[in-house]
Structure 1
Amino acid sequence: MLSRVDELWNVYGPTETTIWSTVKQINKGDEQITIGAPIANTHIYLLNSQGLLVEAGKTGEICIAGDGVAKGYWRRPELTAEKFTSNDFDTEQQTKLYRTGDLGKLLPSGDILCLGRIDHQVKIRGHRIELGEIEEALEEESEILSSVVVVNSSRLMAFIITNEARDFSEDNMAKWKKNLSTKLPDYMVPQDFNLVTEFPKTLNGKIDRKSLLKNASEKRETTHFTAPRNKTEQIVAEIWQESLGFNSIDIFANFFELGGHSLIAVKVMVRIEKETGGKNYPLSSLLEHPTIAKLAKFIDSDKDISSWSSLTPIKTSGNKTPLYVIHGADHNVLIFETLSRTLDKEQPVYGLQAKGLNGIDAPHDSIKKWRHIMLRKLLNLTQPDLMLLLGIR
């Protein structure tokens, strides 16, 4: 990466401290990639479990104080009290200290080396997630006695102990997913559910999460499984399995319900382009053809993809007035598939994406021209007084 840029900087800091708290310029001669030193008006403390400073070279929790520290979490007083504590090192100003949950140590150079997480707070697709919060929501279900949620290859997996002896079915999983989606953001809903009779324990009596992953089958339990029926389905299936972390995938399973998202979609479509002769299929192909069977059929149809269309169907079913979502800064509408699943089941959703994403057409050269084309497209689709628009920046 250094050969492609004039300068490369590593910037560290959570959202709770207004994004960046430390910076470090990366050079070719660096033996370790550190997070550097605090920026102006910022203080970093490395603390032990008792809230005391650790010695230089010793490992401690990275805690941040300074002008960038937020007041707390919106309507989350318990979590705010846990993470935002009084800064005992600044008794005059009575400032707050944010406990990041990251481990770090101070090097002789004065730089801080970040060593990873200390708890079960994880990051999925850029979102910081408390696994315990998901487990609490799961255990509100009447059939669930206890649950453990773990992360495997950026995919959330739930291990369930039910409160009565009964067969585990897809209907249970569908119900739990639906109920969770009303309580939690989409990225916090597990993609896999595994029924177990007990949780393995470590020697000190704690739940052994690593053993849960080791013993779990990577294949999602399904009532019926349909294997690929032709060469194209086999190619797509192998790419999906590798990208999503499954041993096998039913050709009628939905990419997004399996845990697919925009970042994985990019990898999938790049691989498909390489494996199918270099044809550049748009990311929106996954929205219109979200199963292996449908996507393979689309590829085999040899449909002309050179003709650009801004309109991308995301969810076509429903009897309500359609919602048209205009793309944001990343120019693509794939991320709105998640939005469509949180809306009413009768709410159709369409995306309006930027020109040029197919690698063939030239992008619009002005906002005015882009606006004119988008409005003309919308007016051709619906009555002006019945139009629902959503703009994302």
Structure 2
Amino acid sequence: MNIIKKSDQLKNINLALANDAVEQETESTTKSKQSPLVSDPERKISKIDLLSTSEYQKLVNVFNATDKIYPNCEQTIPSLFQLQVTKTPNSTALIFEEEQWSYDKLNNRANQLAHYLQKQGATVETMIGISLPRSSELVVALLAVLKVGAAYVPMDSNFPQERLDYILRDSQVTFTIDHNFLIKAVSSINEQSCCNLIIESSFELKNTAAYMIYTSGSTGQPKGVINSHLGVVNRLLWMQEHYQLTEQDAVLQKTPISFDVSVWELFWPLLTGARLVMAKPEGHKDPSYLARIICDKRITTIHFVPSMLQIFVNQVDSSKLKSLKNTICSGEVLSVSLQNAFLNKIPGKLYNLYGPTEAAIDVSYWQCQVGCSNVPIGQPIANIRLYILDNNLDLVSVGVAGQLYISGVGVARGYWNKAALTAQKFIPNPFGRELGEIMYQTGDLARWLPDGNIEYLGRIDFQVKIRGFRIELGEIENKLLTIPQIAKAIVTAVEYNGDKVLVAYIEKYDLEDISSKDISELLQTSLPDYMIPPHIVEVKFTLNHNGKIDRKTLPQITPQKSESNFVVYTNEVENDVLKIWQNLLGIFTIKMEDDFFQLGGNSLLATQLLFEVQREFRGEISLDDIYKNQTFGKFCNLVRGIECSGLDSNIVLLKSGSRRPLFLVPDLGGDTASYRHIVEHLDSEQTIYSFRPAGQKDDQNPIKTISGMADFYIELMKKIQPHGPYIIGGLSMAGSVAYEMAQKLTAQQEKVPILVLFDADSGLGFNKDSMRSLIDIFKFMWERMFISVFRPTKMSRKRIKKTASFIKLAWQAEINEEDCYVCETEEEQRQQILSQLKNARKFPPYVTLQQFQKISQLSAINYLSTFCYFPRKYLGKILFFKPTQKTQNFTCVDYEKWKSLARKGLTLYEIPGDHFNFFLNPSAKEIARKLQYYIDNELDL
């Protein structure tokens, strides 16, 4: 038989002409049938637009030429699993923490539970609830349910009780398998046969229900979607054809079973002889844990929703992910920037897949590529046909937007006990090849691209996707309207802080009063946390000419406040925590009673909060700690407990790991933030510490010499690591301190195999005149500006000018001297200077005038101490990072003199940038890579 390839068919209808734009001004050449939904009036007309209706029908048929007959496509999930058991009975099938099960053991345990379920009345089409955390028992339970021909209904324990009660009532489950069920039945289950079940049915098992997953409902209640074995098996066989799992592969199961991606995570490896690795409960929210399990269990395939992938890419060390072959994304729009960031950092291939719950998992796929201007959802998978239609269910041209419809074996059977809604959404396919063929109306806007891929354009209704969860805004609105005080409600989703955020607009009845906090607490009794709007805005709705609420008049949320509204804390821990919350939430006014989640926090931001706190403070906290301490005050107490229970409060843990620690000396003003970009790119197991300098706290006086600072930091360092070998580093002025620490440790017979200096200056490159000028400036600042008690007088123009000179040297910032001079008092002048530095982003908004004085005092002292430091020869070797560009108004360091001091030589790396930005991204990544290589390979520790 002569088989015509899909690519040849495309050529036969001149698809290549689609890439040749035809300059035509008139609209008369455009096809008469255009979608009334969306169209791009500026889109150039191509020759493909000139196809006739019949030719375009042929083109769509080529795009949908997906027919494929797979071996075993008539089988069910459990029967395919049993075939694999006979092939590899002793191979590892399931890994959960320390447990490791063979295929034979897993099958036997599932058979025993299945026989027990059968005796309890479970049979074909029975609905059985599953309420188990991620574990080996979960896999056994799912297989057992499918073996008796029943369908499982996920009961997520994180859902509020009201929602669970509704699912129980609506699904009419015969019973629910949870821990109590298994404990009570353990003896009876163990007595059952290990033999495979034989299921008799009056109709084909392949068409029976495999699972029913509840999605958000626009009418106010979630709705159950039923998918059959036929659609799921087709999806799994297609995956195996494309990705070719073997016994050497391992798939990480980390998606909650209430999300349909979990279906292929669970069953695909078990049908192909690969290893199914179960992440620990809640482990899917922790990027560092995921990186460890990928490394430890040699994971080759993993799934992410894009929002979680973004956090994962930003936080993990890619050197730990060498086993990864395929990373699959779905559930949200995958951006071009995230695609490129992944492909530039993470090993293996990245795929973007698309599919609603109303079809068996995914219906289209795209392999991501660097350099693409967009990330399409790709082409239909095997035995799936996709159509893009206008409001009249007519095909639209390539490049024209329309609604996406799905047909083929993957389409779900419909909604449970909702015949009218099923008839509305699952409609007869006018292009169907069989009588009675249906297609699903997705509500998604899309368009064909000339190469046969599909570009996703958004929703046409009020449904949104947030962190992979599909949300009908109408369901939230209906729940709001059940609150007696609320007369009207509109819920929308806005782009905010790199994510979509729900905003609820409410209008109350006259004289009724209820707080936003009370509303959130009431919603929490019936909606899962991802459906609770963090922003609730009280408004008086205006109506349009149709008598409906005019959405265009709704006020935009403005979470960022002016500086006059900042809440200032004097406690050091509170200020550190405040900075983290501000960066994550984009909100600067945060009070003690404010709730992280009500301010816009979500599970993904909680994951980032966990990472930031573990990096900034010593000790460990968990996501559960965050959920138990949601208010700012309680969270500060949690962090304060970590502070008090750990090491000396002058020690700062920047990164926790198993490797020998790297100690970084704090910079000019005593801050560790300068190192943050380098730290994030170093190996995930590289432990990194820094210090808080003496003088930063109220009960400490500043140390005024490099030698004294070195003694202070050595004492702190030895509390962590009593003996060498030591790894020490410092940036700019801190490099001199690190150098002196290495000198002193060497004199104490301690080994310092790695001393790393980041463009360190020690006065070596300054001549006497420049030194005298600088010392004069800093002495003046120290004695007259920073140590003297504030007086209710004004600084003269000369003093303001000298202050401006200091600021330019210390922070590379210009200040407006005239604005300072018109202030009434010296304190107001200092406040004006601080405000200008905050506006220039040299200081975060929460820094007080008192804190600014301390930082400035430390900066001046540190500058002076550097110029008064005359280093001796060093017996060891120096690793030096030098910026390639000269810095304006900054005297260059004499690297040759540094080299002459290092008896064992100086290794020099030149990094793009100047003195003030070469340690920031993207150069920081290159510094980290070279430094890690040096630590790992150059020296024997």
User: Where on the TM-score scale, by shorter chain, does this alignment land: which range?
Assistant: 0.5 to 0.7
Equivalent position of 2:609 in the other structure? 268
Post-superposition offset of 1:188: 2.2
Q: Provide the rounded CA distance (Å) in 2 between the counterparts of 1:200 and 1:230.
A: 49
Distance 1:119 1:242, change over 3 A: farther
**SS at the partner of 1:158?**
strand
Distance 2:443 2:586 in 1: 27
Task: Kindly provide the CA deviation profile for residues 304-356 of structure 1, in whole angstroms up to 9, marking residues without a partner as x.
Answer: 579xxxxxxxxxxxxxxxxxxxxxxxxxxxxxxxxxxxxxxxxxxxxxxxxxx
2-structure distance, mates of 1:15, 1:74: 13
* Alignment map for 1:10-29 (pairs within 5 Å): 10-29=352-371
CA shift in 2, pair 1:254/1:105, >3 Å: same
CA distance in 1, matches of 2:584, 2:415: 34
Distance 1:29 1:195, change over 3 A: closer
Q: Which residue of 1 aligns with 2:823?
A: none
Does the CA contact (< 8 Å) of 1:7 and 1:25 recur in 2? yes
Once residues 304 and 79 of structure 1 are traced to their aligned partners in structure 2, the CA distance between those partners, rounded to angstroms, is: 58
Matched with 1:194 is: 537
Tell me if the contact between 2:534 and 2:597 (Cα under 8 Å) persists in the aligned partners.
no
User: Mapping of 1:97-116 within 5 angstroms?
Assistant: 97-116=439-458
2:587 maps to what in 1? 246
Change (3 A) 1:117 1:140: same
- Where in structure 2 are the equivalents of 1:378-393 lying within 5 Å? none
- Cα pair 2:493 2:502 within 8 Å, conserved: yes
**Which structure shows the higher helix fraction?**
2
Inter-partner Cα distance in structure 1 for 2:586 and 2:549: 24
* 2:503 aligned residue: 157
Rounded to whole Å, the distance in 1 between the matches of 2:432 and 2:608 is 48
User: Which residue does the alignment assign to 1:337?
Assistant: none
**Cα distance change, pair 213–50 in 1 and its aligned pair in 2 (3 A):** farther
Cα deviation code 1:362-384 (max 9, x no counterpart): xxxxxxxxxxxxxxxxxxxxxxx
Matches within 5 A, 1:126-275: 126-152=468-494, 153=496, 154-166=500-512, 168-170=513-515, 173-199=516-542, 207-209=549-551, 211-214=553-556, 216-218=557-559, 228-274=569-615
SS in 2 for 1:16: coil
Write the distance in 1 (CA, Å) between the matches of 2:416 and 2:586. 35
Q: Once the 2 structures are TM-superposed, how far is the Cα of residue 117 of structure 1 from its aligned partner? A: 1.7
TM-score, normalization by structure 2? 0.29
Q: Is the 8 A contact 1:62 1:103 kept in 2?
A: yes
CA separation of 1:246 and 1:97: change in aligned 2, threshold 3 A: farther
- Between the aligned partners of 1:162 and 1:195, the Cα distance in structure 2 is 8
3-state secondary structure, aligned to 1:15: coil
Q: Give the whole-Å Cα distance in 1 for the aligned partners of 2:429 and 2:588.
A: 49
Of 297-306 and 80-89, the range deviating more from structure 2: 297-306
Q: Is the 8 A contact 2:567 2:589 kept in 1?
A: no
User: Match of 1:92, SS?
Assistant: coil
Change (3 A) 1:200 1:217: farther
Aligned residues: 300
Alpha-carbon RMSD across the aligned residues, in angstroms, is: 3.3
| Shift of residue 68, structure 1, vs aligned partner | 1.1
SS in 1 for 2:580: helix
Shift, 1:64, TM fit: 0.9
Q: Which has the larger radius of gyration?
A: 2
SS in 2 for 1:243: helix
Contact 1:129 1:188 survives alignment (8 Å):
yes
- Residue by residue over 1:28-61, the C-alpha shift from the partner in whole angstroms, topping out at 9 and shown as x without a partner, is 3534321211000100000112222111221111
Letter aligned with residue 289 of structure 1: N
Distance 1:189 1:30, change over 3 A: closer
Please give the alpha-carbon distance, in whole angstroms, between the structure 2 residues aligned to 1:110 and 1:165: 59
Q: Contact 1:64–1:99 (CA<8 Å) still a contact in 2?
A: yes
Any idea what SS the aligned residue of 1:155 has? strand
Q: What CA distance in whole angstroms lies between the structure 1 residues aligned with 2:424 and 2:587? A: 37
In structure 2, the partner of 1:287 is 627
* 8 Å contact kept, 1:72–1:84: yes
Q: How far apart, in 2, do the equivalents of 1:210 and 1:118 lie?
A: 16
Alpha-carbon distance between aligned partners in 2 of 1:99 and 1:129, rounded to the nearest angstrom: 17
Shift of 1:252: 2.2
Q: Which amino acid aligns with 1:293?
A: G
Contact 2:541 2:550 (8 Å CA) reproduced: no
Task: Give the Cα–Cα distance (whole angstroms) in 2 for the partners of residues 8 and 277 of structure 1.
Answer: 34
Higher strand share: 1
- Please state if 1:300 is matched with 2:631: no
Q: CA 1:269–1:130 in 2, change beyond 3 Å: closer, same or farther?
A: same
TM-score between both structures, scaled by the size of structure 1: 0.66
Per the alignment, do residues 137 and 91 of structure 1 end up closer, same or farther by CA in structure 2, a change over 3 Å counting? farther
Match of 2:416 among 63, 67, 74: 74
1:347 match: none
Q: Secondary structure at the match of 2:613?
A: helix
| d(CA) in 1 for partners of 2:380, 2:506 | 43
The 1:246/1:119 distance shift into structure 2, 3 A limit, reads farther
Structure 1 pair 31–179 and aligned structure 2 pair: CA distance change class (3 A):
closer
Q: CA deviation at 1:279?
A: 6.1
Question: Quick one: which amino acid aligns to residue 47 of structure 1?
Answer: L
Q: How does 1:320-331 map to 2 (within 5 A)?
A: none
Pair 1:303–1:64, CA change in 2 (3 A): farther
* SS of residue in 2 equivalent to 1:128: strand
Percent identity between the two aligned chains: 37
TM-aligned CA distance change 1:120 to 1:95, over 3 Å: same
State the 1:77 CA deviation.
4.3
SS in 1 for 2:358: helix
Mapped partners of 2:685, 2:622: distance in 1: 9
Question: Against the structure 1 CA distance between its residues 58 and 179, is the aligned structure 2 distance closer, same or farther, given a 3 Å change threshold?
Answer: same
In structure 2, the CA distance between the partners of 1:161 and 1:287, relative to structure 1 (3 Å rule), is closer
CA-CA distance at 1:296 after TM superposition: 2.1
1:43 equivalent in structure 2: 385
Report if aligned partners of 1:200, 1:212 keep a CA contact under 8 Å in 2.
no
Q: 1:242 to 1:174 in 2, by over 3 A?
A: same
In the other structure, the counterpart of 2:159 is: none
- In structure 2, stretches of 5+ residues that fail to align are 1-341, 648-683, 687-941
- Closer, same or farther in 2 for the Cα pair 1:91/1:108, shift >3 Å? closer
Q: Which amino acid aligns with 2:430?
A: D
- What is the distance in 2 between the residues matched to 1:211 and 1:245? 24
Offset, 1:131: 0.9
> What is the distance in 2 between the residues matched to 1:90 and 1:226?
63
Structure 1 window deviating more from structure 2 (148-157 vs 52-61): it is: 148-157
| Offset, 1:121 | 0.4
Inter-CA distance 272–102: structure 2 relative to 1 (3 Å threshold): same
Q: Which runs of 5+ in 1 are unaligned?
A: 307-357, 361-393
What is the deviation of 1:70?
1.0
Deviation string 1:190-217 (CA, Å, 9 cap, x unpaired) is 233221122475x988645465242x45
Counterpart secondary structure, 2:414: coil
Amino acid at match of 2:537: N
